[in-house]
Chain A
């Protein structure tokens, strides 16, 4: 019962974080900032949803597969983000920087 409630909390929080990340890729001003918003949906949102599903599944092969999905996402999503940012920078896409707060 407690595990059920915990897993629903995880699932709902994950879903909410996903929507927030989706809103983030609208609100942020340029490509590089949008990567950060996409980062939310790739990390904590995926983590919470998979954790919630894992709690529902209990110990077994399903939980193992969920853990594997989690590991794959955690290895691949930063690599993809880095590759995207690197390619964008090399292609000459300039990030919109906040000049006012830079005094150095």
Chain B
């Protein structure tokens, strides 16, 4: 039964992945990757029960956090063009560049 659920999650991941490949906009791709990541978390959790290795749940936990940070970072890179945290950092980088 766990196998059926993991198959369903894999199908969903496949659908999300094809949407990520198809686009058409960058935001579609990021949304699809976000969904892919959420499904990965669920898949790892199901696999933990399928294989009886409860430690895999910790990995799912960490993946849930990394996925979010990854999506936000990708979004920041796409919209802002860099990873600068603040205006101050921006100015420092600008200054170094001009020197």
Given contacts A23-B15, A76-B64, A87-B78, contact A12 B4 (CB under 8 A): yes
Contact of A22 among B15, B48, B58, B65 (CB under 8 A): B15
Cβ contact within 8 Å between B35 and A41: yes
CA distance in complex: A93, B29 (Å): 14
Count, chain B residues at interface, CB 8 A: 43
Looking at the assembled complex, report how far the CB atom of B79 sits from the nearest CB atom of chain A, in whole angstroms.
5
Interface hub of A45, A56, A79, A80 (most chain B Cβ within 10 A):
A80
Which chain B residues numbered 49 to 99 have a C-beta less than 8 Å away from chain A?
Answer: 49, 54, 57-58, 60-61, 64-65, 67-68, 71-72, 75, 78-79
Question: Which of chain A's residues have a CB closer than 8 A to the CB of B19?
Answer: 25-26, 34
Ordered nearest first, which 10 A-B pairs have the shortest CB separation? A15-B8, A22-B15, A76-B68, A18-B12, A22-B12, A88-B27, A65-B57, A72-B64, A38-B35, A87-B79
